[in-house]
């Protein structure tokens, strides 16, 4: 299957919806060549990915459609001018809002897992805000819906941070409990719902949105 859904497009930037369980870029081996980037480049050969989503995460990904836009988007990311919002379902009852700021690094003996390490880890920050309303659901365990705003972009950052807070993401096969995984065995409940960037041609901020599938 090579189809993909375009959410936004101008002469410089393409925003595409990545489904869960699809690689952002090709991996090693013949069985890991299907990816969102591979699919996009079959239609737009000059498109280049400027950031990634985890294999298990769904939602918005940006592509630069030419060399200049790729450089500009990379610069915006480096200067933290691009703002991302994710929606997640997390286990347990969580209310209010806050900031998680803990250092992270790769768990080399258990890759691809990441881990909190206050000595060797790199700084990482996430802002979170719980939705105030109660949710009607047949899910077998207590859960909460949260909005997540990563300030930094470490691998598995949101997944690690919510687990560190004591509320791992439902369906997260690496960091959640067995009960939280079984509550959503078909997917991890983490979706990139909004990304805001500076439009290269106009210099104005553009926000692209994607509805949460859960």
Both structure tokens of 137: 């659901």
What is the β-pairing status of strands 58-64 and 190-198? Answer: parallel
Q: Where are the alpha helices (DSSP H) in 67-193?
A: 67-78, 157-164, 178-182
Assess contact for 154 and 51: CB atoms under 8 A: no
Strand-pairing partners, residue 91, are 143
Of 161, 97, 169, residue with least CA distance to 129: 97
Q: Do 49 and 22 touch, CB atoms closer than 8 A?
A: no
Angle at 140 between CA 134 and CA 142, to 5 degrees: 40
- Catalytic residue (one of 31, 54, 107, 117): 54
Residue 54: active-site member: yes
Q: Cβ–Cβ contacts within 10 Å for residue 80, how many?
A: 10
Element (H, E) at 43: helix 36-43
**Separation of alpha carbons 117 and 109, rounded Å:** 14
Catalytic residues, which ones? 54
């Amino acid at each position: 299957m090579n189809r993909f859904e375009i959410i936004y497009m101008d002469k410089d930037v393409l925003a595409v919806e990545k489904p869960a369980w699809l690689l952002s870029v090709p991996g090693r081996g013949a069985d890991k060549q299907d990816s969102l980037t591979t699919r996009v480049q079959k239609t737009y050969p000059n498109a280049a990915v400027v950031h990634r989503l985890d294999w298990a995460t769904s939602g918005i990904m940006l592509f630069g459609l030419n060399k200049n836009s790729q450089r500009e988007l990379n610069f915006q990311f480096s200067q933290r001018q691009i703002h991302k919002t994710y929606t997640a379902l997390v286990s347990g009852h969580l209310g209010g809002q806050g900031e998680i700021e803990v250092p992270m690094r790769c768990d080399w003996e258990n890759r691809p897992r990441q881990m909190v390490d206050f000595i060797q880890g790199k700084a990482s920050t996430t802002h979170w805000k719980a939705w105030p309303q109660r949710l009607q659901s047949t899910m077998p365990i207590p859960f909460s819906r949260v909005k997540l705003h990563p300030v930094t972009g470490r691998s598995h950052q949101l997944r690690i941070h919510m687990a560190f807070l004591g509320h791992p993401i439902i369906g997260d096969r690496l960091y959640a409990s067995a009960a939280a995984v079984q509550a959503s065995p078909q997917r991890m409940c983490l979706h990139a719902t909004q990304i805001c960037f500076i439009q290269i041609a106009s210099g104005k901020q553009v926000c692209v949105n994607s509805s949460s599938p859960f």
